[in-house]
Amino acid sequence: MQSSGTPTLYEWVGGIEALNRLTKRFYEHVHADPLLSPVFAQMDASHAEHVAAFLAEVLGGPASYSAQYGGHPHMVRKHLDRHLTQPMRRRWVELLLATADELALPDDPEFRSALVGYLEWGSRLAVINSQPGAAVDPDAPMPTWGWGETKGPYLG
């Protein structure tokens, strides 16, 4: 818990264990998807864990992606020249949210609103950073996400 007593989104979702389950299952769906499977054909076995670590850090968990994999600039670099399209982006977000439902991750309005907000923001940046001529800012800070306007968490 934070000092205010409000849990981080990371705590609310169930920590790294929940995020690892989410990304593992998500990339199984990605590999079965005709639009996305070619995009991720070269990903290595640790990709799902790396993305879980990245999400953990964004959602207020430990800064292990920054410590181990090079932070936000490294993540941006991974999207360079991928020529991602809006249909790919929309499918990516749709599959991630469907996987969150499938795994029964928290589905209260406050958490899902915050999650969708981050995914819309991050996935649109991924598309922008994948276009020809996009450059990496080596000093780009890691984004951090909170409950936002809904001022969660949901208390029933």
Q: Which residues are near ligand HEM by CB under 6 A?
A: 39-40, 42-43, 47, 50-51, 54-55, 69, 74-75, 78-79, 82, 84, 88-89, 92, 119, 122-123, 126
DSSP string, 49-117: HHHHHHHHHHTTS--HHHHHH-HHHHHHHHHTT----HHHHHHHHHHHHHHHHHTT----HHHHHHHHH
Identity of the amino acid at 53: A
Q: Closest approach of Cβ 102 to ligand HEM, in Å?
A: 19
Q: Closest approach of Cβ 139 to ligand HEM, in Å?
A: 18
The DSSP letter of residue 121 is H
Sequence-separated (6 or more) residues with CB below 8 Å from residue 126? 79, 84, 89
Residue closer to ligand HEM (CB basis): 24 or 47: 47
Residue closer to ligand HEM (CB basis): 20 or 123: 123
- Tell me which residue has its CB nearest to ligand HEM: 122
Q: Closest approach of Cβ 10 to ligand HEM, in Å?
A: 14
The two three-digit tokens of residue 118, written as one number: 């981050």
Q: Closest approach of Cβ 17 to ligand HEM, in Å?
A: 18
